[in-house]
Structure 1
């Protein structure tokens, strides 16, 4: 739902007024639209674009150097009036004629068309280029009857750069139509959009479904299908767009566009699936864009736009631009395929222990971490639900990812012939890196501290393990600042360490002492349900956590139990 507005009927006008104020380094206000902050040179072709509001940064975000000279904005999803088009065209005209650019919609064709007739009658050479890139809106043999969608940004950007380069009006018009005719787009939606002041969306997509081939004005798609994986969405859009390749060029401008509610990170994930399809097809991507460039209020979904480039189109696509929607210098970079990119990284090095005892002990540590990773993967959902009571619900995911990475790092260290200290230290660093967040840092540093008490040349002794868990506790409390009673991992770790030390001091065997300590940790973890959090995210919603144990304490107790079970299979007493 579009939520931030006062009077729905003033939504577009208020937004335009604010836009002109925010971007006054690039634009200046004019009634019903915006102009470049600094007018174009005398005699240049003026590129005037426009259409309805609700699509930001289409169309007002396109004004600036290397792009449009002016924009005319209508109400939400509505064409601007003929008068507005005329008024702004007259103000923006630099003397070299006017090219009007807009999407192929009835209202825009009517109002811009009438305005163009009147301007011609006044002696101002005026041309029209409409965008018609949406492959879902008409058959391929009726390309110029299609709707204009996200292809606007490519077509208008190329036209604007050509006009700024001094190309005359015949040339700008020709380049504009060429860019349009070589551009194709296709979109998918996961939910519809909501007009300001309305409570219901213009169309709905059922849970677990997605709409195909929709417009950007609340029109439903031409079909629906079950929600698909990113790889399947990528292939669907790619095949619909590239299947209509209008020319044989192997160089393409590509825009992956979000409709308003789909997050950039989601688009990045989709791009990772899309890019290899272009490479496999022998297409070279030139200066790609991923982001929001033609939206539809709060609609969820995305579209793929491809423009097949010749030498002229590529030169103007790469040309510098400075507008609210797009700011970049002259692009000279050649994009290499993702799988060919060199990724700089620090490769791990291991202190290799030549003794058979050390290598065997390192392998044992690796097996223990494998068992722990398996258990935490199984507990991921349960830990997430516990964490969601007053946190963000990601603890189970973090523990599963961290322990899995730790087990994998340990496996590599073992393969290199490392001993127990090196294996556990490598696992600790991998845990911290993959899990991220607070728990990742605590577990990573805790395990690294534990590893410092091990010896790469020897099998860990009961004394070494006692010192290890003590160092782990000290490091976690040092960096985390938590103390018993704060409803954190420490509430399980503290009784574990104390019980383990006490049991060993009483002469109990290692496995028995560890298992008793694990039982103490479990009891303490369950008791955290009666505590109010003193640290962490849960502190903000302290009362909500009452009656629920702390996820960090529960995962600590579970980990202790798993390692205890593992030790019981390796040590007879």
Structure 2
């Protein structure tokens, strides 16, 4: 388990600070992550990778010559926010465009896609690649749903080498897509990982058993089986990966493959070498030529005991890129030419935040909004362990701490905006950005767009009434459903949000005053959240473990129920004060 930490909420930030301090010749800190501290030629495509922290050397540890130009680093097992990705990409951009690379997880897809849109709108040509190498997370017919695990490295390595060779953005994207199509991975775990401050692992595996098909965020495996010997595990790895050949490759014999035997955190290098001994024998017997194999910890999951095997099916161009030298804090290959360090004066300063003009009525409404966000933070604090427990049944168990980070950051940003004279809209925009930035993950993205949508309805210059609040909630519902692609019945927060919004709108249109209307809607939302226990998830990390979630409500819907009930108390209190 993780033993060395201060406040678990600050762990990721303190880890990044220490990482940068220890690797100043390679990286420098920017808002949202790190970028190279060395000079990159003008016109080069910038590869920005990223994801949650807890996977070192992914993602910050692979920033440097021959690999990534920057890394957006989210909180523990939570995707970086769109704001973080945009900030890192802007700092690393050298005029050749940006390629965003990340594992195919719902939160990462949401945040990186949003950042891509913002970067393109700002005049920085930006494309993206979502790595989908994990064969156990979805069948071949649905390979677009597969997770990205240790195969992240093969895709990023190929794309980075193409960028450093002077390829155009379109051509770098083409190389990354081809590398992704030719990468396959398969993994197992013997025990779960324990996040800083947590009293137990995110999941457990019975003694003498192993979870087959685990991800890199502590997701449980697809099945459990008896622990193999090293040779038996090697045979299982190789058999699984040779069953599915990439498109265009008809036979195994005669092909050349890059290879990664990856440790997840607690399996020692010596053990990996014992496994690799048999892996290499089996692949050579099958007629494959192994090119520059990598054996070690490359994409980890804190202290998880487990391993994965990745095969990268090469062509002549991809082989050249796979062999190219690289020099980063956590990954080195060959010898790179000396690179020039950037001067401190070349680091751009962040722009000051400007507070728009607001009316007295909007600022008064802002006080109520601030109290509501404070109430959200309080109720999340009180239920953080339960939210994590619910999420861990079929997910990765980080919903509680993610919501806690987001709500606390949102409340702090709201207070700062209020003291600066912000109206309701600007206050909610500030809270939304801080929530998404601090929480990361899917819930961070969704709460960010929700708060912004409500703010747009309330405005900065008017006195918002009950109808404006109902319209804002409806806008938040639409934004979440559009952004997250979830519908009623998918076992997400949408199952509670849709009836909440409908009830609130009906009550207010019928003349019910706001506090009472909100309370009635909150009761409906709470009941709907409870009813999600009977549903099977059709989206997100819980989808591969759908049956395990039966009997347990969705964590996002459950937290929404808690939140709207806490806001109901705030509104009732203001109604009594007005009387």
Question: Shared topology, TM-score over 0.5?
Answer: yes
Q: Secondary structure at the match of 1:71?
A: strand
1:516-568 deviations in Å (ceiling 9; x for gaps): xxxxxxxxxxxxxxxxxxxxxxxxxxxxxxxxxxxxxxxxxxxxxxxxxxxxx
2:91 corresponds to: 91
1:303 corresponds to: 308
Structure of larger gyration radius: 1
1:273 corresponds to: 278
1:346 corresponds to: none
Which stretches of structure 1, 4 residues or longer, exceed 4 Å deviation after superposition?
Answer: none
Aligned 8 A contact 1:143 1:181 in 2: no
1:496-515 deviations in Å (ceiling 9; x for gaps): xxxxxxxxxxxxxxxxxxxx
1:415-468 deviations in Å (ceiling 9; x for gaps): xxxxxxxxxxxxxxxxxxxxxxxxxxxxxxxxxxxxxxxxxxxxxxxxxxxxxx
1:409 corresponds to: none
Alignment of 1:404-553 (within 5 A): none
Instruction: Establish whether residue 165 from structure 1 lines up as the match of residue 170 from structure 2.
Output: no
Alignment of 1:191-210 (within 5 A): 191-210=191-210
Alignment of 1:343-382 (within 5 A): none
| CA drift at 1:330 | 6.0
Aligned 8 A contact 1:104 1:145 in 2: yes
1:116 corresponds to: 116
Instruction: Establish whether residue 320 from structure 1 lines up as the match of residue 325 from structure 2.
Output: yes
| CA drift at 1:31 | 2.2
1:186-234 deviations in Å (ceiling 9; x for gaps): 0011100011100111111111111100011111000011111111100
Out of 292, 296, 309, the position equivalent to 1:291 is: 296
Q: Secondary structure at the match of 2:141?
A: helix
Following the alignment from structure 2 to structure 1, what is the Cα–Cα distance between the partners of residues 54 and 207?
A: 25
2:560 corresponds to: none
Aligned 8 A contact 2:30 2:87 in 1: no
TM superposition score normalised by structure 1? 0.57
| CA drift at 1:273 | 1.2
Aligned 8 A contact 1:318 1:330 in 2: no
Q: Secondary structure at the match of 1:49?
A: strand
Following the alignment from structure 2 to structure 1, what is the Cα–Cα distance between the partners of residues 312 and 67?
A: 17
| CA drift at 1:144 | 2.2
RMSD: 1.1
Gaps of 5+ in 2: 337-579
1:162-202 deviations in Å (ceiling 9; x for gaps): 10110110110000010001000000111000111001111
Following the alignment from structure 2 to structure 1, what is the Cα–Cα distance between the partners of residues 194 and 206?
A: 16
Following the alignment from structure 1 to structure 2, what is the Cα–Cα distance between the partners of residues 24 and 112?
A: 26
Following the alignment from structure 1 to structure 2, what is the Cα–Cα distance between the partners of residues 91 and 23?
A: 18
1:322-379 deviations in Å (ceiling 9; x for gaps): 0112112169xxxxxxxxxxxxxxxxxxxxxxxxxxxxxxxxxxxxxxxxxxxxxxxx
Following the alignment from structure 1 to structure 2, what is the Cα–Cα distance between the partners of residues 89 and 236?
A: 40
Q: Secondary structure at the match of 2:159?
A: helix
Alignment of 1:17-166 (within 5 A): 17-166=17-166
1:259 corresponds to: 264
Aligned 8 A contact 1:33 1:60 in 2: yes
1:90-148 deviations in Å (ceiling 9; x for gaps): 11100000000000011111111011001111121100011000000000122222000
TM superposition score normalised by structure 2? 0.56
Greater relative contact order, per chain length (Cα 8 Å cut-off, separation 6+): 2
2:214 corresponds to: 214
Alignment of 1:222-237 (within 5 A): 222-237=222-237
Following the alignment from structure 2 to structure 1, what is the Cα–Cα distance between the partners of residues 183 and 172?
A: 16
Gaps of 5+ in 1: 332-573
Following the alignment from structure 2 to structure 1, what is the Cα–Cα distance between the partners of residues 330 and 131?
A: 18
Aligned 8 A contact 1:39 1:92 in 2: no
| CA drift at 1:298 | 0.6
Aligned 8 A contact 1:85 1:112 in 2: yes
Following the alignment from structure 2 to structure 1, what is the Cα–Cα distance between the partners of residues 47 and 40?
A: 10
Following the alignment from structure 2 to structure 1, what is the Cα–Cα distance between the partners of residues 216 and 274?
A: 23
**Number of positions where the alignment pairs a residue of Structure 1 with one of Structure 2:** 331
